Chain A
Amino acid sequence: MRWFGIVCVACLGLVLAVASSHFPPWGDPHSPASTHVSPRYIEKSVEETAVPNIVTAVLADYRGYDTMFETTVIFAAGLACFMLLRRLGTGPQEQLWRHIPTGVVVHVKGGVRPWIDPRHFEPIDRHWTPHDLVTLTSCRIMIPFLQLFALYVVAHGHHSPGGGFQGGVILGAALILLAISHNLRTAAERFSETTNGVLSGLGVSIYAGVGMACLVLGGAFLDYKELAGLLGVDKVHARSLGIFFVEVGVAITVMAVMYLIYRNVSSAGECDEGL
């Protein structure tokens, strides 16, 4: 198997190396990739969509179908993770409660005992380590700014590098940071599993809903210029606003799915304790 692998890989490398020697050199402005459709996008995108960031304009308008189905793929991947790992209804067999004044840990099997007073006991993980004050405080300060920056990246994607995918990943990273620095239960109090599931579907629905709205208003699917009458702007700015709406949908789905995957993978589907 090892020698078969080496032979396969060597053959692939040889074929690619021979092919690559005919490729255009690095940074060539007249390479085939840069001569056909790309100049059209660079010259016309501001004129047609009023979006200076060509990547955003191509992503959400010229290649709107592609992006919509990429978002659907992300949603489907999150759904697959959920279906593969999550075990609903069983609940944890054993709960650990730590008595805060004395530090004694009580193992509770089956249900909640009435003498466990939430004022003196806290639920802990099996591999519990005392919370580090520096980590907790610095993460608590960082998370709101991370989320604010993510909203900036989504909203300013028309004029600077950014957009729905990047902002959504930063929003998801802020949630994952909360779950890592505290624990999964704290993160679940802020962002419950139901909210997570609803949001991951909502983003795709927003994207498809904008497309359907264009269809209802008499245009083609995802042809944002039909939104002009609804939004009270001209057709070029309607495209710009349509791009913004679908980017918001993408950001919501990406955020929810990133956190959904993290939560299920890190706790092997139990979603009560993990990293």
Chain B
Amino acid sequence: MHSWVDLIVAHYNYWIYILLMMIGLYAMVAKRNLVKKIIGMSIFQTAIILFYVSIGAKRGATIPIIEHHGHGPINPEHYINPLPHVLMLTAIVVSVATLGVALALGIRIYQRFGTLEEDEILSQLRREQ
């Protein structure tokens, strides 16, 4: 019993990211409205960002900016892992840009079909064939 509580508490960052990822994937797979799918994609990206940033954390460490350089060697345990932050820094801005492209595609689809519901678009496409 005690080990279960330990497992949940020590890994709680993973449980949150798994939950967010499941919400995002469900929205992308099961929702029929394209805007809801785009929202699901955004939640999915947020889950990935949370996962990366949380694996960079170290207990008792500070942000990765070296202060007081020149007073002896730098101990890596005093600074959190900078690499996930670098990767996610670019990923956040790229995700905003790709979200813009997704919304632009949504606008074009709405202009062409007059709806954003997937089943209505598909039935219109079948009628045209």
**Nearest CB of chain A from residue B28's CB, rounded to whole Å:** 9
Q: Contact check, A54 vs B65: say whether CB atoms are below 8 A apart.
A: yes
Please give, as numbers and ranges, the residues of chain A lying within 8 Å of B49 by CB-CB distance: none
Please give, as numbers and ranges, the residues of chain A lying within 8 Å of B1 by CB-CB distance: none
Q: Contact check, B26 vs A5: say whether CB atoms are below 8 A apart.
A: yes
Q: Contact check, B74 vs A42: say whether CB atoms are below 8 A apart.
A: yes
Please give, as numbers and ranges, the residues of chain A lying within 8 Å of B83 by CB-CB distance: 33, 37-38, 41, 58
Residue of B nearest to A269 (CB): B107
**In the complex with contacts A5-B26, A67-B90, A77-B97, A84-B104 CB distance below 8 A:** yes
Interface residues of A in 39-83 (CB under 8 A from B): 39, 41-43, 45-46, 52-55, 58-59, 63, 66-67, 70, 73-74, 77-78, 80-81
Contact with A along B27-55 (1 / 0, CB 8 A): 00110100000000000000000000011
Give Cα A254 to B29, complex, Å. 31
Give Cα A272 to B32, complex, Å. 32
Q: Contact check, B81 vs A43: say whether CB atoms are below 8 A apart.
A: no
Please give, as numbers and ranges, the residues of chain B lying within 8 Å of A161 by CB-CB distance: 63, 65
Residue of A nearest to B29 (CB): A5
Give Cα A63 to B58, complex, Å. 22
- Cβ-defined partner of A81 (8 Å) among B25, B76, B86, B104: B104
Specify the main secondary structure of chain B where it touches its partner: helix
The answer, yes or no, to whether B57 is at the interface (CB within 8 Å) is: yes
Interchain residue pairs with CB less than 8 A apart (27): A6-B30, A9-B29, A16-B14, A16-B18, A20-B15, A23-B11, A26-B14, A27-B57, A29-B58, A33-B55, A38-B83, A43-B73, A43-B76, A52-B65, A53-B64, A54-B65, A55-B65, A55-B82, A78-B100, A85-B104, A159-B65, A161-B65, A257-B97, A258-B96, A258-B97, A265-B104, A265-B107
B residues apposed to A, CB below 8 Å: 7, 10-15, 18-19, 21-22, 25-26, 29-30, 32, 54-61, 63-67, 69, 73-74, 76-77, 79, 81-86, 89-90, 92-94, 96-98, 100-101, 103-105, 107-108, 111
12 further A-B pairs in the complex, CB-CB below 8 A; given A20-B14, A81-B101, A84-B105 = A2-B30, A5-B26, A8-B29, A9-B26, A12-B21, A26-B12, A34-B58, A42-B66, A55-B65, A77-B94, A80-B101, A163-B89
A residues apposed to B, CB below 8 Å: 1-2, 4-6, 8-10, 12-13, 16-17, 20-21, 23, 25-29, 31, 33-34, 37-39, 41-43, 45-46, 52-55, 58-59, 63, 66-67, 70, 73-74, 77-78, 80-81, 84-85, 159-161, 163, 165-166, 168-169, 254, 257-258, 261-262, 264-265, 268-269
